A and B are shown apart, each in its own frame.
Chain A
Amino acid sequence: QKEVEQDPGPLSVPEGAIVSLNCTYSNSAFQYFMWYRQYSRKGPELLMYTYSSGNKEDGRFTAQVDKSSKYISLFIRDSQPSDSATYLCAMRGSGGYNKLIFGAGTRLAVHP
């Protein structure tokens, strides 16, 4: 079993839809949770970063962490065609080094 599970999709939605992306994990030591966006032929770029449980909002993006269920989510409101990309969840423990464990990524397509 992988430490981080993420549905690879693809997920296709119309412009303006609310998108929900999710990851589950098995290692209870994970404390830091991130979402990265990766466009084709590009490196991942950090979207959201959350420490421990709770919600964090940044513009159209909301990240949620439920440590009791070992489940994290990213919501995208009013989705745009420019949001079409692969979304990777990533996480790590509280140790001093920042080795990240990534999910496989969910490919999202937002069509006009």
Chain B
Amino acid sequence: DAGVTQSPTHLIKTRGQQVTLRCSPKSGHDTVSWYQQALGQGPQFIFQYYEEEERQRGNFPDRFSGHQFPNYSSELNVNALLLGDSALYLCASSPQGLGANVLTFGAGSRLTVL
């Protein structure tokens, strides 16, 4: 059973560019959350998608946007990249209901902004 898969694993961008990161949730999971993990820090919640809608958002600017597709996969888009956006971007999936506390994380996409 494949867990959460993310792509690309690594990428390098320059300031001002735009980036799209992709996530396929674990089989049976319908909720996808995105987290940003800066070096030496814990993950910070960006937003969560369920039924193709953003239903909760953390303290991130509008440059961060997302999408969820009917097959539950998700994309994270970041526009006008800043040096401070360099981080590991983690996707986590979960089932609805009582299992909602059990998040399964992917290995992440490491973004470097030069």
Contact = CB atoms under 8 A, between A and B. Distances in A.
Interface of A: 4, 6, 8, 32, 34, 36, 41-46, 49, 88, 90, 92, 96-105
Contacts of B101: 32, 34, 49, 92, 98
B90 interface: yes
Given A98-B33, A99-B33, A42 B56 contact: no
B40 A43 contact: no
Interface of B: 4, 31, 33, 35, 40-45, 48, 55-56, 58, 90, 92, 94, 100-108
Contacts, number: 61
Contact of A6 (B35, B42, B90): B42
Nearest to A23: B42
A43 B106 contact: yes
Given A44-B90, A97-B56, A98-B33, A104 B41 contact: yes
Contact of B40 (A8, A42, A46): A8
A102 B42 contact: yes
User: Nearest 8 A-B pairs (CB), nearest first?
Assistant: A102-B42, A43-B105, A98-B100, A97-B56, A43-B107, A99-B45, A104-B42, A44-B105
